[in-house]
Amino acid sequence: MKNINMYYHKKVLVLGLARSGVSAASMLHKLGAFVTVNDKLPFSENPEAQGLLEQGIKVICGSHPTELLDEGFELVVKNPGIPYNNPMIAKAERLKLPIITEVELAYQISEAPIIGITGTNGKTTTTTIIHNMLNEMKKNTSLLAGNIGFPASEVAEKATSEQYITMELSSFQLMGVKTFRPQISVITNIYEAHLDYHKTREEYVAAKWQIQKNQTADDFLVINWDQEELIHLAEKTAAKVIPFSTTQRLMKGAYVQNGKLMFNDEEIGSVEDILLPGEHNLENILASIAVSKTLGVSNEAIMHVLETFKGVEHRTQFVGELLGRKFYNDSKATNILATQSALKGFKQPVVLLAGGLDRGNEFDELKPFFRNVKAVVVFGETAEKIARVAKEVEVEVHYVQDVERAVPVAFKVSKPGDIILLSPACASWDQYRTFEVRGNAYMNAIQELTDEVEQ
């Protein structure tokens, strides 16, 4: 960790806890700042705040009182999930206080160069594949951090100059960067998303584009060359651009040619040897190859990862096979676009498990992607809406109460060679606390079915 003194005896407000807020508050305290933490959860129900108080950090819980900002703070470190129209943030901006997120702090203390990955879809998968490829080359070369679940400043504290921090970055985190500069940045793709937070597509794209804000000609930007919007944006970066494409041969960068994975006209391996299914995952793989080859990872190490990587949990994750049926867990598909991507990835007949929280939208956009879907098992608040769409394209429909009950029904209507896919196209909150809980329920039900069949 770099021994920086920019926060020594500075008065800093950490707004919102969760893991990143706890990590930021602890780090600032170690750096000699006078830290105040403000979190809306009451102190009695807030073990994170209680732990910070034991470290000697001032804690204010239960609400976000705007008058707190009258106490002469010099910096606000905000939880990424707190929007900029929050009264506390709005007042901080009126007071012209610098507002950063925890990844900015991580960059400032890190001895390790950072590989930053963002995009609408594929961030976690791409981050994980890059991490695995670097560590296949040499153990402990890469440390995971950021939106993938490991607080960036906590990881940066331990990282050495001989390592890389492979960091997943959300648009929420990137809005708060000032000096943050990854050695390699990756934009997997950009679609319309999070407009409840960003208000406009333009603001959302601008937030993603922040990833390369401070890069120079010594740095690299890996970017999706199948999106015209990103091609135009790439003209505005100072970084060296490394494109990737699933649809066209490139003069440089990562692409597919005659079923082969290519980088700068060098054959890396065969597409058919990749274990992870789906064209959307091919995008993630090409981005990962671009990063890994830039950092000197061997073709053998790259292909070993691709031949063995089953996917990130709950993201088109291969769960297992039972009597010729293959089960995939894509519980992270909380919107229609994600389910479209999952369905595109399979050429075999699919039994789709779908449904969940009703946000008021219809599901007609799924119709063109039901070509290989032989049956849909629906559940949750949107069951009838998804059933309507399936019936209109003459796909068989089965109604169940929840994911657990969907598994045996899906197995019963399937045949050997079929794919059984949980890809709900909806958030989980009508029945399950998180998409992870929903995905775990699916995998547990598969295990129960397996035990029953094998008895």
d(C-alpha 18, C-alpha 368), whole Å: 40
Cα 91–Cα 97–Cα 98 angle in degrees, nearest 5: 125
Residues of the chain with CATH 3.90.190.20: 317-454
Q: Say if CB 172 and CB 80 are below 8 A apart.
A: yes
User: Is residue 155 a contact partner of residue 164, using CB atoms and an 8 Å limit?
Assistant: no
Q: Which CATH class is domain 317-454?
A: alpha beta
- Give the chain's length: 455
Any binding-site annotation on 382?
A: no
**Which parts of the chain sit beneath pLDDT 70?**
193-196
Residues of the chain with CATH 3.40.50.720: 11-100
**Residue holding tokens 């403000």?**
38
Q: Which residue has the tokens 């039994």?
A: 351
For the domain bounded by 11-100, which CATH number is listed? 3.40.50.720
Per-residue model confidence (pLDDT) at position 434: 94
Q: Which of 444, 440, 418 is nearest to 331 (CA)?
A: 440
CATH number of 103-308: 3.40.1190.10
Give me the pLDDT at residue 288, please: 98
For residue 450, say whether it is annotated as part of any ligand binding site: no
Q: Where in the chain is the domain with CATH 3.40.1190.10?
A: 103-308
Residue 124 labelled as part of a binding site: yes
pTM for the whole structure: 0.84
pLDDT for 168 = 97
* CB neighbour burial string for 62-100, b if at least 16 within 10 angstroms, e if fewer: eebeeebbeeebebbbbbbebebebebbebbeeeeeebb
Q: Is 160 annotated as a binding residue?
A: no
- Tokens at 120, concatenated: 């609408």
5 is in an annotated binding site: no
> Is 128 annotated for ligand binding?
no
pLDDT of the residue at 342: 92
Known binding residue 334? Answer is no
